Amino acid sequence: MLKFNEDEIKKEVKEVLDLREAIEKCVTKICNDGYENIFIMGIGGTYAVAEEIMAYMKGHTKINLYIENAADLIAEGNTKLGKKSIVIISSDTGRTQEMIDAVKLCKNQASTIIGFVQDKKSPLADLCDSLFAGPGSAYLKILLIMLDFMKENNEFELYDSFYNQMEYLPKGLADVQKSVDSKAEDFAKKHGNDQMHYIIGGGSLKGAAYSYAMCYMEEMLWMRTKSVSAADFFHGTLEIIDRDSNVTLFKGEDGAREQEERVEKFLPRICENITVFDTKEYQMKGIDQKFRDLLTPLIMSAIYARINVHLEKVRRHPMEIRRYYHRLDY
């Protein structure tokens, strides 16, 4: 398989899961000290992760939980942010200016900052009260800490069962990439030079569609795209889809699956270029169905990891190359 390193995939997932003890220690202290609310803050792709997390949490926890776009927080503020607030962030570089400025704002409010920052020598890392450094999925990192907060709030009785089954996750996600590779290659050959492409997703995959369209297709692959939530598709976007439009639907296994199925049923009536990537088609041995809604964004990210590799080849454009990002001051 092109640019596929199974050992590295498994290693990254395992390293995140190995944060369990440190995360639990951090959360226990916070809960013993007391807190009023939790903010998950990001920008761009990390804000998309916050949306993915919130799609599950808002229906499963009574914790006062908010998500914030870092730039919007700077511009608008939030009266609920204060000294009893916990702010959770994630960042690869630790150098995104909007995130640095927003975290400083939170620090000025005496909020507690928990950071998953890959570069432990970065400005963002220096601002964290509790720092977890290292690579791996931002979604998985924040999911683990939020499940621990839920456990402490007596809202997630399956906590130990969840971790017991997570030993199968590294291999499971690698197997998803293997299973989808042929379909991803065909997709790239067909759509690699599209002039416009629509990505649709609902629930936790609304954030995935947003992230994939913006952070991958636009930023890394230089493809013109638009992300649409399945809930909003019938309130605008359906009017500009025609026979020749290029549309991809992300289908997951959470409460929004019915929304996605409604879109899937409608699209063939008006469009001939539809691709559906359904997480349900990709099984992971050892993991029960009861945890699949939590893992839906991770499964979809494994799917589009293979799409990326093949689009990169078809477009003859290494994804590391940017025109402006981290190249110009703006």
Q: Which domains does the chain have, with CATH numbers?
A: 6-157 (3.40.50.10490), 168-315 (3.40.50.10490)
Tokens describing residue 39: 């903010």
Look up the pTM and report it. 0.97
What confidence score (pLDDT) does residue 319 get?
97
Cα–Cα distances in angstroms (integers) from residue 57 to residues 51, 125, 224, in the given order: 10, 26, 32
Which of 291, 213, 223, 215 minimizes the C-alpha distance to 253? Answer: 291
- Reported as a single tens digit per residue, the pLDDT across 29-60 is 999 999 999 999 999 999 999 999 999 999 99
Indicate the residue type of 63: I
CB 44 within 8 A of CB 215: yes
Helix (H, G, I), strand (E, B) or coil at 42: strand
All residues at 6 or more sequence positions from 60 whose CB lies less than 8 Å from its CB, including other chains: 150, 155, 156
Residue type (1 letter), 20: R
Give the per-residue pLDDT at 329: 87
- Residue 275: what residue type? T
- Contact, 247 vs 241, CB < 8 A? yes
Which token pair is 241? Answer: 């889809």
Strands, E assignment, the chain? 37-42, 65-69, 85-91, 112-117, 130-132, 197-201, 225-229, 246-251, 273-278
**Strands, DSSP E only, in 95-189?**
112-117, 130-132
CA distance 126 to 156: 32
pLDDT score, position 58: 96
The number of beta carbons lying within 10 Å of the beta carbon of residue 236 is 9
Residue 91's nearest CA partner among 68, 123, 65 is 123
Closest CA to 56 of 118, 136, 149, 133: 149
Average predicted confidence (pLDDT) for the chain: 97
Summarised one tens digit per residue, pLDDT across range 69-92 is 999 999 999 999 999 999 999 999
pLDDT means over runs of 10, the chain (330 residues): 98 98 98 98 97 97 98 98 98 96 98 97 97 96 98 98 98 98 98 98 98 98 98 97 98 98 98 98 97 98 98 97 90
Give the span between the Cα atoms of 61 and 155, in whole angstroms: 7
At residue 161, the pLDDT reads: 98
